[in-house]
Amino acid sequence: MTLSNPSSPKEAGSGMLRFNALKPGTNVLYSIIFLLLALICVIPVVFVIIISFSSEASIGRVGYSFVPDEWSVEAYRYVWALRNSQGIPTVVMAFLTSIGITVVGTAIGVTLISTMGYVLSRRNFKLRGFYTTLIFIPMIFNGGLLSTYVVNTQLLGMKNTYWALIFPLACSSFYVIIMRTFFQTTVPDEIIESGRVDGASQLRIFAQLVLPISLPALATIALFLTFAYWNDWYQASLYIESNRHDMFPLQYVLVNIEKNIQYLANNDMAMSANSTALPSETMRMAIVVIAVVPIMFSYPFFQKYFISGLTIGAVKG
């Protein structure tokens, strides 16, 4: 009589596959649910894009529709027609400014947050408790807008500079605590000890051993910082004077365009024969498209690092 070995790798693997397999009906149900969720996310974006390419007359006749009576790119022509003193389209200049601020700010932010989080995660760091408390305090108490403005403009001299658009958002106490917790719970102490045995410095251990297995957390922080920089317009309204048009980021320019549209639409004294033809509704949607579509292309980049980071590095017994 021959008994099968239930602990063999082949049978154990097939047993796990049977345990994790979904029934056909359940698989279809989950597929339908995820398809509906995907449509809920995608359809509003497609709807906004369609409206931005609709004519103002079509919206006046039939309202917002997936199939407008008349297509038009007049909204994008109005936005493109806005130019600075050098004749460069304002949106193009603001777009380049936002890209530079987002890239530089995200790189600086990830560097600061990851290094601070790693230092605070080391148990042998004597001032770990003090600095953790010091970083935690701004999460509860804020110095206030006035003191922040005085420090950034009078003490640091960042008014009318690109640094004023970068440094205030570069480091967040909340993100530092997240990275500290990630390093404490995910990075094994054996990796740090192996680096010390080989004579590596803390900087080399952090760069060559810790960062490769921390890509999921780094990508998450980088994604949040990218969204924060790209969508920020408030810092420009505080630290950039109104005559420094070339320094305005994209969101600030789009907000000003939206305000001007609202003013022309609501102020009867400002209305004229030309302003009545202003594509106010479609231009609002065009502004949304210009602001949202570029940042959508960052998802595949970060998703690649999410997936690769999950498979890099491990402690083998």
pLDDT at position 4 is 46
DSSP string computed for 12-55: HHHHHHHHHPPPHHHHHHHHHHHHHHHHHHHHHHHHHHHHHTB-
pLDDT at position 20 is 60
pLDDT at position 40 is 92
Tell me the C-alpha distance between 227 and 101, whole Å.
12
Q: Are 299 and 224 contacting, i.e. CB atoms less than 8 angstroms apart?
A: no
The dihedral built from the CA positions of residue 225, 228, 233 and 239, taken in this order, carries a sign that is negative
The dihedral built from the CA positions of residue 64, 66, 72 and 74, taken in this order, carries a sign that is positive
Contacts for 184 with CB less than 8 Å, ≥ 6 apart: 121
pLDDT digits (tens, 9 = 90+) for 110-134: 999 999 999 998 888 888 888 888 8
- What is the percentage of the chain residues whose pLDDT exceeds 90? 18
* Ranges of H-type helices in the chain: 9-20, 24-52, 56-62, 74-81, 90-121, 128-136, 145-150, 163-170, 173-186, 189-197, 202-205, 215-231, 234-239, 250-266, 280-296, 298-309
More confident residue, 116 or 57: 116
Averaged pLDDT, 236-254? 88
Q: Does domain 78-309 have CATH number 1.10.3720.10?
A: yes
Which one-letter DSSP state was computed for residue 205? H
Which pair of tokens denotes residue 11?
């049978």
Q: Are 222 and 106 contacting, i.e. CB atoms less than 8 angstroms apart?
A: yes
What's the one-letter identity of residue 102?
A: T
Band the pLDDT of 108: cuts 50, 70, 90: very high
**Per-domain boundaries in the chain:** 9-73, 78-309
Band the pLDDT of 267: cuts 50, 70, 90: low
